[in-house]
């Protein structure tokens, strides 16, 4: 299994490969980070999802919050 800065990559109908290419070009793209986190959640990889969601929040803060980031989909998470 290959890895990148966000952790192990899982291939699900090519979605992970596409996200990897897009995030390689723009590693702080908040929408794509959300989708990566959602993919990890779908695959029950909660620790990777948490890491990616937190990266998305940090990127959002660093960008000055130039657009609304829905906390319905992205929020600081804590392990249970």
Average pLDDT over every residue of 33-48? 88
Q: Which residue has the higher pLDDT, 65 or 56?
A: 56
Rounded to whole angstroms, how far apart are CA atoms 15 and 79? 25
Rounded to whole angstroms, how far apart are CA atoms 73 and 34? 7
Q: Which residue has the higher pLDDT, 68 or 50?
A: 50
Is the CB of residue 32 less than 8 Å from the CB of residue 22?
Answer: yes
Rounded to whole angstroms, how far apart are CA atoms 47 and 66? 27
pLDDT score for 61: 83
Backbone angles phi, psi at 72, to 5 degrees: -65, -30
pTM: 0.64
Q: Name the band, by pLDDT with cuts 50, 70 and 90, for residue 68.
A: low
CATH, range 3-62: 1.25.40
pLDDT score for 71: 47
Average pLDDT over every residue of 34-56? 89
């Amino acid at each position: 299994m290959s890895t990148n800065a966000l952790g192990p990559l899982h291939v699900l109908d090519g979605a992970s490969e596409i996200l990897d290419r897009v995030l390689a070009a723009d590693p702080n793209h908040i929408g794509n980070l959300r989708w990566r986190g959602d993919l990890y959640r779908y695959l029950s990889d909660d620790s990777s999802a948490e890491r990616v969601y937190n990266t998305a929040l940090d990127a959002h803060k660093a960008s000055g919050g130039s657009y609304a980031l829905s906390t319905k989909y992205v929020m600081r998470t804590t392990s249970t």
